[in-house]
């Protein structure tokens, strides 16, 4: 596999993950698109790189804080992934570079009683997932898309991608992650979207 210190070294193709969930790479009722539409609840928030902080909190041995430079010094990977939007479009073969969720979780030391995860973002968006759905190599905190800095409208400087879930599980403009001992609901999960969001089961609404 790739040398973690050199993101140009290799791209891990993780598009085969669908085999865990279904027979077809394209989930049911999804349409392939070459475009990359933008879906944001309230526009693109301002970002001040000097003020920006990323925090890991909750049921961990060590709460962590990173500034923008520190975050990008974490070990990185580049992966080719698919992106499935709950509104019906899928974008295949997208390259994202960033830090894996398990990498960050291991740095913080997640408590055995942690069961759930909440992601926080600059626009007050939140989204939640069970811990086991986050502890996958394909769940990335990413700042690079197809070799370019992640565009602001797509969540730059930093967003989460969850290729095994509908894309609302990936917080754009992410500023932190909290490990929870009891499950809580995020922004859309409180408003009728599925908590599980499995594209191959068409878990769109709850
Ligand atoms: N912070 C934040 N993250 C977010 C959203 C949002 O409104 N705010 N929208 C979600 C939804 S509903 C989708 S479908 C994807 C869309 O990502 P895109 O705009 O890059 O296509 O981002 C998700 N992450
Ligand atoms: Mo969405």
Q: What is the mean pLDDT of residues 85-92?
A: 97
Distance from the alpha carbon of residue 160 to the mean position of ligand 1, in angstroms:
10
Q: What is the mean pLDDT of residues 38-65?
A: 98
Strand partners, 116: 130, 180
Element (H, E) at 129: strand 126-130
Strand partners, 56: 64, 177
Helix, strand or coil for residue 176? strand
Confidence tier at 1 by pLDDT (50, 70, 90):
very low
- Report every protein residue that has its C-beta within 5 angstroms of ion ligand 2: 39, 86, 168
Count of domains for the chain: 1
Q: Is the pLDDT of residue 26 over 70?
A: yes
Question: Does residue 28 lie in a domain region?
Answer: no
Is residue 153 in a domain?
Answer: yes
124: its two tokens = 């007050």
Residue 147 lies in a domain: yes
Q: In CATH, what number is assigned to the domain containing residue 156?
A: 3.90.420.10
Which ligand has an atom closest to residue 151 CA? 1
pLDDT at position 9 is: 62
Is 27 among the domain residues? Answer: no
């Amino acid at each position: 596999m790739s040398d973690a210190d050199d993101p140009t070294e290799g791209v891990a193709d993780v598009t085969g993950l669908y085999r865990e969930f279904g027979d077809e790479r394209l989930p049911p009722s999804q349409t392939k698109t070459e475009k990359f539409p933008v879906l944001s609840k309230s526009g693109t928030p301002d970002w001040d790189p000097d003020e920006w902080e990323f925090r890991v909190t909750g049921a961990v041995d060590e709460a962590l804080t990173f500034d923008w430079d520190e975050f990008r010094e974490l070990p990185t990977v580049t992966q080719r992934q698919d992106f499935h939007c709950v509104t019906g479009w899928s974008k295949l073969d997208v390259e994202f570079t960033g830090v894996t969720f398990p990498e960050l979780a291991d740095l913080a030391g997640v408590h055995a009683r942690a069961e759930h995860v909440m992601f926080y973002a600059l626009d007050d968006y939140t989204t939640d997932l069970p811990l086991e759905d986050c502890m996958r190599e394909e769940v990335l905190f990413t700042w690079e898309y197809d070799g370019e800095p992640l565009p602001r409208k797509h969540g730059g400087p930093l967003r989460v991608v969850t290729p095994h879930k509908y894309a609302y599980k990936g917080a754009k403009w992410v500023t932190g992650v909290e490990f929870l001992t009891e499950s809580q609901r995020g922004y859309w999960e409180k408003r009728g979207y599925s908590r599980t969001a499995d594209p191959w089961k068409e878990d769109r609404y709850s």
